[in-house]
Amino acid sequence: MYRHIYTALLLFILSISLSSSSSSSSSSPTSQINSNSVLLALLDSHYTELAELIEKAMLLQTLEQTVATHNITIFAPNNQALERNLDPDFKQFLLQPGNIHSLQSLLLFHVIPTNIGSKKQTGSTRFKTLSNHNINVDTNITTGELTVEQIKIVHPDFITRPDGVIHGIQNLLIPRSVVDDFNRRRSLRSITAVKPEPSPEVDTRNHKLKKQKQPPSEKPGSLPKLPIYEAMSPGPSLAPAPAPGPGSPHHHFNGDANVKDFIKTLIRYGGYNEMADILVNLTSLATEMSRLVSEGYVLTVLAPNDEAIGKLTTEQLSEPGSPEEIMYYHIIPEYQTEESMYNAVRRFGKVRYDTLRLPHKVLAEEADGSVKFGNGDVSGYLFDPDIYTDGRISVQGIDGVLFPMVEEEKVERDKPVSKMGQPGKVQHRRGKLLETACWMLGTFGQHSRLASCQ
């Protein structure tokens, strides 16, 4: 029932966009699309899983433009191929917001800007898809059976329209580039690449980098030797003395691309626009994070959603350096995922993670089957896990803004107190050898000669 409602909404939105585009400009390519389009027929067919993926990949406009200028062919996998026959890990990889480009390439791999009818196809022919990949369409001379990339076309010419044709296929077509992206993310090969230059050593006397004379003995992909706190630019929560930047001018990781990708993912995910605005416009943290990632450091960002940031008062954000201090407390200088943090709090009960706001740490504990950060009213739950994970930056959505707890001053415990509440006399502890000496002197009545025995 929900799928029928979802498909009806897609058809309604698409029909509105088509009618508005046709009325706005008669010269526009989308003005040629009508209600008898093959794209509308696909969204109204029983290939509901494919229609949902097209909507999630935001490919409706691309397909509209293609249908308006070409007579297309769509190879549509059935729902069983997308629901049951697909590897769960691979499906999760495709549905992650950060992997939308892989999902788009996979779906466009099923569309050819040429009309290929089952009766017109003979022998083996190579075609170029909308994803710029080539596929082979073969016809068995004996049985007349059609295959595409060795996958059987079970329903040839299932839907035929003036602007295209849809063939039903048995399984999903997966381009090689998408498989490589999936394997690269799964094995984290992108973060274990051999560095062309050795990791620098730090001179503890002046906190400057030593020149490397011999090749390093560290494993490839190891973290820089310089602590991340020394690598950060001076700010409101750091020491006033400027800290030297780590490494050489040759960056081994593209931190700028990583940070841009993660901010775009925050905006595309929805509900974290305020966080993205603070990182880019209100502060210079986006530039700072890209520099740190370029030098080989890893970060975990606890991102408060828009509702949580909306509760902040003007006083909390108006003081100089307040936005930076708040955001620094939400950045952990290590790579953590929802699974690793949940396993840690399940095993150890309470875990304190270091933050970029020295010397404060953020407390994590298990609560209601999730991970809770902070104490008391100043807390937030892990609300949207693994919004972005690329091996260098991990973003975990939380439903509250965190603040460090104010520590009370420690009471002096060294001064003993008498029963009347007045400081008592400090009694020094005597060793065993001194007690033996006092006992022997007491035997001869001479213990008064030693002041320590009195």
Helices (H), 194-284: 228-231, 255-269, 273-277
DSSP result, 171-191: S----HHHHHHHHHHHHTGGG
Evaluate whether 237 touches 325 at the Cβ level (below 8 Å).
yes
Q: Can the peptide bond before residue 359 be classed as cis, meaning omega within 30 degrees of 0?
A: yes
Q: What is the pLDDT of residue 413?
A: 42
pLDDT at 195 over 60: no
Q: Give strand ranges (E) for 264-413.
A: 299-304, 331-332, 350-354, 361-367, 370-375, 378-389, 393-398
Report pLDDT for 405: 78
Q: Is the pLDDT at 235 greater than 80, yes or no?
A: no
Q: Which of 405, 404, 357 is nearest to 237 (CA)?
A: 357
Q: pLDDT for 364-386, tens place per residue? A: 999 988 999 998 778 999 999 99
pLDDT of residue 410: 37
Tens of pLDDT, residue by residue over 5-41, are: 555 555 555 555 544 444 444 444 444 567 788 888 8
More confident residue, 11 or 210: 210
| Superfamily classification of domain 255-398 | FAS1 domain (2.30.180.10)
pLDDT of residue 243: 35
Is 380:304 a contact under the CB 8 Å cutoff? yes
Report the C-alpha dihedral over residues 318, 319, 321, 327, rounded to 10 degrees.
Answer: -60
Given a contact cutoff of 8 angstroms between Cβ atoms, the answer to whether 301 and 395 are in contact is yes
Per-residue confidence at 192, pLDDT binned at 50, 70, 90? very low
Dihedral sign of CA atoms 227, 231, 237, 238 in order = positive
Q: Note the CATH number of domain 2-185.
A: 2.30.180.10
Instruction: Provide the CB-side half-sphere exposure for 163 (13 A, CA).
Output: 21
Q: What is the pLDDT of residues 330-363, one digit of tens each?
A: 999 999 999 999 999 998 889 999 999 888 999 9
Paired with 202 in beta bridges are 209
Contact present, 402 and 380 (Cβ < 8 Å): yes
Helical ranges in 367-413 per DSSP H: none
Read off the pLDDT of residues 111-163 as tens digits, 9 standing for 90 and up: 999 988 877 777 788 899 999 999 998 888 788 788 998 888 999 888 998 88
Same CATH fold, 255-398 and 2-185?
A: yes
Residue with the bigger pLDDT between 143 and 172: it is 172
The residues spanned by each domain of the chain are 2-185, 255-398
* Antiparallel, parallel or unpaired: β 208-210 and 201-203: antiparallel
Is the pLDDT at 434 greater than 70, yes or no? no
Which distant-in-sequence residues (6+ apart) come within 8 Å of 355 by Cβ? Answer: 328, 329, 330, 331, 332, 333, 361, 362
∠ CA(437), CA(441), CA(443), 5° rounding?
A: 120
Look at residue 262 and tell me whether its pLDDT is greater than 80.
yes
Quote the pLDDT of residue 203. 73
Question: Which has the closest alpha carbon to 226: 354, 333, 362, 326?
Answer: 333
Say if residues 317 and 323 touch (Cβ distance below 8 Å).
yes
CA–CA gap between residue 295 and residue 304 (Å, rounded): 26
